[in-house]
Amino acid sequence: MAKKTVMLLPGDGIGQEVMAQVVRIIEWMDTAGVASFDLREGLIGGASIDKFGVPLTDETVADCLACDAVLMGAVGGPKWDDVPFDKKPERGLLRIRKDMGLFANLRPALVFAELAEASTLKHEVVAGLDVMIVRELTGGIYFGQPRGIETLPNGDRKGYNTLVYTTPEIRRIGQVAFDLAMKRGKKVTSVDKANVLESTILWREEMEVVAKDYPEVALSHLYVDNAAMQLVRNPKQFDVMVTTNMFGDILSDCAAMLTGSLGMLPSASLGAADANGKRNALYEPVHGSAPDIAGQDLANPLAMILSLAMMLRYSFDLDAAADKLEGAVKAALAAGFRTGDIMQPGATKVGTKGMGDAVLKYLAEA
């Protein structure tokens, strides 16, 4: 059987450094006979702008579509602040999501026991936390038309975007959330702003329609302002949260901090399943390119490494390999290895590569 192909898009800033640790792990898995992939590599974001003048080329999109999964680092940085809006590094990320049809973004906020003290929230509020945020990723205000900035006849300028959702868009993301809930705690919280926005009145109504197919799952609704408050007040009340593109963007950063650091949160972006059950998929850490610490061996590679674990699980059904990798991350944390962002008194401070070393060590010992 042909080897499965994985496309690597390290991107910018710390994206390159954290991806390098993932490549070491993939190489180890190959040698150890755990899993074997054919790796390709491409450019996205600022790295692509520098070489091709655009944040993502048609060729790279085609290469990604031809691969079985994509692993992405992060995009952006001050170097590209002055490029026109439609050529910014972030446009590359938004385009790859759209062109691959990656409508479902899974962002699990899981607190490792070893890191419960690293959170800025009280230990008892976050210890044992396991929330799955399901963010709609190819619709809503990020992509709605019309959009733009115009000059009015009186000389004033007007900027506008459109928050739009259709029933199929809401139902398919709802199904992803309910399917996940069936394998977890059987609770879905749908987050909207139905007291103000019509598009999310529709969102709420359609979630109720989807819920009819899942009688075992309890559905509740929260307005986004209340959801943000509840996430920091009592996050353990949640199992699966499903929400729009922009609300999901905001709430997932908030949820990331519950886990101790943005450097810990992986994500999976999935498309619709074809007749064979195969989905387009891209895996990336929730954190950004962190230009302030890039190139200094300071970045935490664990969100990227945990994104690799999600790839093993969701794209290749390699659950044992994913368990093993997540186990090695836990073992490295239990042994006291910490990057700066999760540093605690008495722990052993390591850099990006040092954390990669630690994970590899415990992988080999597992």
**Could you say whether residue 71 binds ligand IPM (CB under 6 A)?**
no
Whether 179 sits among the annotated catalytic residues: the reply is no
| Residue 269, helix vs strand vs coil | strand
By C-beta, is 90 or 99 nearer to Mg ion?
Answer: 90
Which of Mg ion, ligand IPM, none sits in contact with 134, Cβ below 5 to 8 A by type?
none
C-alpha distances in Å from residue 310, one per residue of 85, 94, 277, 284? 32, 21, 17, 9
> How far apart, in whole angstroms, are the C-alpha atoms of residue 25 and residue 126?
29
* CA separation for the pair 253, 287 (Å, rounded): 8
- Position among 67, 70, 71, 93 found at the interface with ligand IPM (CB under 6 A): 93
- Is 225 designated active site? yes
Cα separation, 34 vs 136, whole angstroms: 33
User: How many angstroms separate the first and last alpha carbons of the chain?
Assistant: 28
Pick from 264, 294, 281, 305: nearest CA to 46: 294
Which residue is it, tokens 């990336």?
A: 284
Nearest distance in Å: CB 253, Mg ion: 6
Binding mask 237-256 vs Mg ion (x if CB under 5 A, - otherwise)?
A: ------------x-------
Residue 241 touches ligand IPM, criterion: CB under 6 A: no
The Cβ of residue 347 has, within 10 Å, a number of other Cβ atoms equal to 16
Amino acid found at 204: R
Closest residue to ligand IPM: CB criterion: 90
Which does residue 93 touch among Mg ion, ligand IPM, none (CB within 5 to 8 A, set by kind)? Answer: ligand IPM
Touching ligand IPM, residues 103-162 (CB under 6 A)? none
- The CB-of-78 to ligand IPM minimum distance in angstroms stands at 14
Q: Which of residues 210 and 281 has its CB atom nearest to ligand IPM in the complex?
A: 281
284 counts as binding Mg ion under rule CB under 5 A: no
Judged by beta carbon, residue 93 or residue 342, the one nearer ligand IPM is: 93
Q: Coil, strand, or helix at residue 71?
A: strand
Residues involved in catalysis: 142, 193, 225, 249, 253
Residues that bind ligand IPM (CB under 6 A): 90, 93-94, 249
